[in-house]
Structure 1
Amino acid sequence: MSQRVRGVVARAVGQPVELTTIVVPDPGPGEAVVAVRTCGVCHTDLHYREGGINDDFPFLLGHEAAGVVEAVGEGVTDLRAGDFVVLNWRAVCGRCRACLRGRPQYCFDTHNAEQKMTLEDGTELSPALGIGAFADKTLVAAGQCTKVDPQASPAAVGLLGCGVMAGIGAAVNTGGVTRGDSVAVIGCGGVGNAAIAGASLVGAHRIIAVDVEERKLRWARGFGAHHTVNAAETDPVQAIRDLTGGFGADVVIDAVGTPRTYEQAFYARDLAGTVVLVGVPTPDMRLDLPLLDVFGRGGALKSSWYGDCLPSRDFPVLVDLYLQGRLDLDGFVSERIALDEVEEAFARMERGEVLRSVVVL
């Protein structure tokens, strides 16, 4: 029997979000209903509200979530009611060419729940990243639920559902950072600081944080940055070179995603070094680099989508490291808020005052 619960909905481009009643159907084959415990407020949710993703309004926002499975549909064998899960937007298919080659982290046919959640008048909702977790309960594909240790704080580990995993994965999975490497991270919001935390976790010997705001550089030092560069005052390329013996960093991660920051990353890396783009550009952006420089500097230019993660592999490991005190996920939680405070949290996020506001239900 369907349930009526509260949910945060964006009805039209640029309009304030609305807390309203939504209808969550019983889970069908391959689906699960999850009682949401916490959900982080991510820039992607704001992009949905602003029409920057697509125009499939109304949207049910929220996707960085942890919760408890309430019910599962037919054919679901690896989940049961009561399981504590982190939600993800990469439910791998197991059948596409990437999955069949043993690379499910690149699955080309990820999927969501087949049924739609709706408003009370029957209007179908588009859940953000196929999740829609600014709600008391949400309907997802069972593969979007990753079981983790229930001792973990939902507010902290739920952030693995998007931004924190994207940053850690950009460093560890995509960039291949390992012990002894030098790493520079341009942009020290939630994703950038997660990249710093990931680089620190695997033993990078020199981590350089770059931003234009001193507040964010202070955050970066807390997550393991050894040096900070204020790009509003100093040429970041020269500063990174000066801090790496004149050579440049082994891995440079662009967590902003603009032509200017990408060019800085490109020239701040060592010969045969790696550039990782994890910041999301807008559709109008274009890049102009001398092709001879691309050839002559060697190395690798990579893009990192969701940190090239496989949730079933990565989430439990990172949660265990968190519980061991080796990964400070609590440090990303700037504030805990109620479900009706999402619009105000968007404003604080845009002003750069928080790493993550987390809705607690």
Structure 2
Amino acid sequence: MAQEVRGVVAPGKNEPVRVETIVVPDPGPGEAVVQVQACGVCHTDLHYKQGGISDDYPFLLGHEAAGVVEAVGAGVTDVAPGDFVVLNWRAVCGQCRACKRGRPWYCFDTHNAEQKMTLASDGRELEPALGIGAFAEKTLVAAGQCTKVDPSVSPAVAGLLGCGVMAGIGAAINTGQVTRGDSVAVIGCGGVGDAAIAGARLAGAARIIAVDIDTRKLATAEKIGATHTVNSSTADPIEAIRELTGGFGADVVIEAVGRPETYKQAFYARDLAGTVVLVGVPTPEMTLELPLLDVFGRGGSLKSSWYGDCLPSRDFPMLIDLHTQGRLDLGAFVTETINLDEVEKAFERMHAGDVLRSVVML
């Protein structure tokens, strides 16, 4: 039987979000209903609200979540009611060209629920953020979007792996392939950038340089694992990174802002044959111009990191294990816990740089 629950909806471009009653249908074949326990407020949700993703309003926001499976549809065998799960937006299909080549972290046909959740007031279909829609007491997802993890871990920290923390750690370890002794620079020290710093530290980087224009963010980056900081509002970040790396530039530079200006900084701040990783999400109108001779002459790799090139079934449990061992402090990313009615204010605090992560608790 379909259920009515509360959820945070973005009704139109740049309109304030509001809490609405939504209808969650029973799970169909391959689907699951999850009782959401916690969901992080991610910048991607703000992009949805602002129209930076698409104009398929209304959106049911929220995607960085953990909770308990309540019910599953026909044919679901990997999860069962009662399982504690982190939700993900890479439910691999197993059949596309990437999956068949043994690269499921690039899956080009990821699964979402077939059915739509709707507004109780008028029956309009809701577009769930990243196919999840977890600023809600319950949500309907494809069963493959549920990854079982250790139930002893707090939902507030486990859910962060669903997007930002995984994106940053994966940008360093999976995409950038940071290894022991490397020098790493991270431009942009929000949640994703700080997670990239944590990933570089896990991988054994010898020098981790945090770059931002906000002294508060730089202080947090040091707590996460940065060995050096650069305030790019007062210093040229390219020159500063070179100075901190013997005049050469960093082995890996991770751009976690998503702007042409900062991407160029990353490009010129890397060593010859070094790697640039773009994990910051640009907006559709942005363009980039670089001298082609510089692209050729500097060698190395220019990469984009999709979701940290993660495989949730492999990476989520591993990172949870590292957290329980005390080697990865996921709790350091949680600035505050809030309720559903405070999401709009959380967006304002995020935009002002006042929080690393606000987490909605349900």
The residue that corresponds to 2:76 in the other structure is 76
Task: Letter of the 1:106 partner, please give it.
Answer: Y
Q: For the residues of structure 2 that align with 1:258 and 1:10, how far apart are their CA atoms?
A: 25
Question: CA separation in 1, counterparts of 2:359 and 2:227?
Answer: 28
CA distance in structure 1 between the aligned counterparts of 2:155 and 2:258, rounded to whole angstroms: 29
* Equivalence for 1:61: 61
4+ runs deviating over 6 angstroms: none
Equivalent residues in 2 for 1:199-218 (5 A)?
A: 199-218=200-219
Aligned length: 361
* 1:202 CA displacement: 1.1
Q: Once the 2 structures are TM-superposed, how far is the Cα of residue 169 of structure 1 from its aligned partner?
A: 0.4
| CA shift for structure 1 position 92 | 0.5
Which one is further off, 330-339 or 283-292?
283-292
**Cα offset for 1:58?**
0.6
Letter in 1 for 2:342: E
**Partner deviation per Cα, 1:231-269 (whole Å, 9 max, x = no partner):** 000000000000000010000000011111111101110
Matches within 5 A, 1:39-54: 39-54=39-54
Match of 1:107 in 2: 107
Q: Aligned ranges for residues 1-361 of structure 1 at < 5 Å?
A: 1-120=1-120, 121-361=122-362
TM-score (norm 2): 0.99
Q: Distance in 1 between matches of 2:240 and 2:266?
A: 12
Match for 2:79: what amino acid?
Answer: L
CA distance in 1, matches of 2:65, 2:28: 21
What are the Cα deviations for residues 248-307 of structure 1, in whole angstroms up to 9, with x where unaligned? 000000001111111110111011000000001111111111111111111000000100
CA distance in structure 1 between the aligned counterparts of 2:291 and 2:360, rounded to whole angstroms: 46
For 2:159, the aligned partner's letter is G
Structure 1 residue 122: Cα displacement = 1.3
Offset at residue 204 of structure 1 (A): 0.3
- One-letter amino acid of the counterpart of residue 261, structure 2: R
Deviation of the 1:347 alpha carbon: 0.4
**Amino acid paired to 1:62:** G
* Alignment RMSD: 0.5
Q: Distance in 2 between matches of 1:259 and 1:132?
A: 30
**Contact 2:181–2:205 under 8 Å retained in 1:** yes
Instruction: Give 1:51 deviation, angstroms.
Output: 1.1
For residues 332 and 53 of structure 1, the distance between their equivalents in structure 2, rounded to whole angstroms, comes to 25
> What is the identity percentage for the equivalent residue pairs of Structure 1 and Structure 2?
79
Deviations 1:286-335 (A, max 9, x none): 11111111111110000001000010010000000001110010000000
Q: Is the Cα contact below 8 Å between 2:52 and 2:284 reproduced in 1?
A: no
Aligned equivalents of 2:78, 2:284: Cα separation in 1: 39
Matched position secondary structure for 1:62 = coil
Query: For 2:340 and 2:117, how far apart are their aligned partners in 1?
Result: 18
Q: 1:24 and 1:308 mapped to 2: Cα distance?
A: 30
1:131 to partner: Cα distance: 0.2
> Aligned partner of 1:292: which letter?
L
Determine the C-alpha separation between the residues in 1 that align with 2:89 and 2:65: 11
Q: Output the amino acid matched with 1:124.
A: E
What is the deviation of 1:48? 0.7
Q: For 1:126 and 1:287, how far apart are their aligned partners in 2?
A: 31
Distance 1:71 1:99 in 2: 28
Please state whether the residue corresponding to 2:346 is helix, strand or coil: helix
Whether the 8 Å contact between 2:34 and 2:70 is mirrored in structure 1 is: yes
Distance 1:299 1:52 in 2: 31
Q: CA deviation at 1:50?
A: 1.0
Unpaired runs of at least 5, structure 2: none
